[in-house]
Amino acid sequence: MATAARRAAALVIDWAIALGISGVLFSGDPIATLLVFAAMHVVGLSLLATTVGKALCRIQVVAVGGRTAPVHRVLVRTALLCLVLPAVVVGPDGRGMHDRAAGTVELRM
């Protein structure tokens, strides 16, 4: 599994990219930034099992068992990640509530 430090670094990188895109296209509107961040996650995780930040930190998101996560799991995971609190609540296995609810896990590549 990916360490908390890797996951946090990937999150910061993805947020910075979303903030940059939002700044250029939407004058940095906070809701637009969150929507860009969510879109990056849904598209990246659905197609490649990773986002730019996760790829740079060598992390991929897969369904428990190792297969690529289906779109409905990616949508659940992303929605809960955007709420922040589920991502902060970590279980004994090191996965956030958003990962446990979606049946996904972040693995080192």
For residue 92, what pLDDT is reported?
Answer: 86
For residue 91, what pLDDT is reported?
Answer: 86
pLDDT reading at 6 higher than 90: yes
Q: What is the pLDDT of residues 17-40, one digit of tens each?
A: 999 999 999 999 999 999 999 999
Radius of gyration (Cα) for the chain, nearest Å?
13
Total count of residues recorded for the chain: 109
Overall pTM > 0.85: yes
Q: Measure the N-to-C terminal CA separation of the chain; round to a whole number of Å.
A: 9
Calculate the dihedral angle through the C-alpha atoms of 92, 69, 46, 105, rounding to the nearest 10 degrees: 20
Determine the Cα–Cα distance for residues 54 and 75; give it in Å rounded to an integer. Answer: 17
For residue 77, what pLDDT is reported?
Answer: 93
Q: What is the pLDDT of residues 46-101, one digit of tens each?
A: 999 999 999 999 999 999 988 889 999 999 999 999 998 878 888 888 888 899 99
Q: At what angle do helices 71-82 and 30-48 cross, to 10 degrees?
A: 150
For residue 38, what pLDDT is reported?
Answer: 97
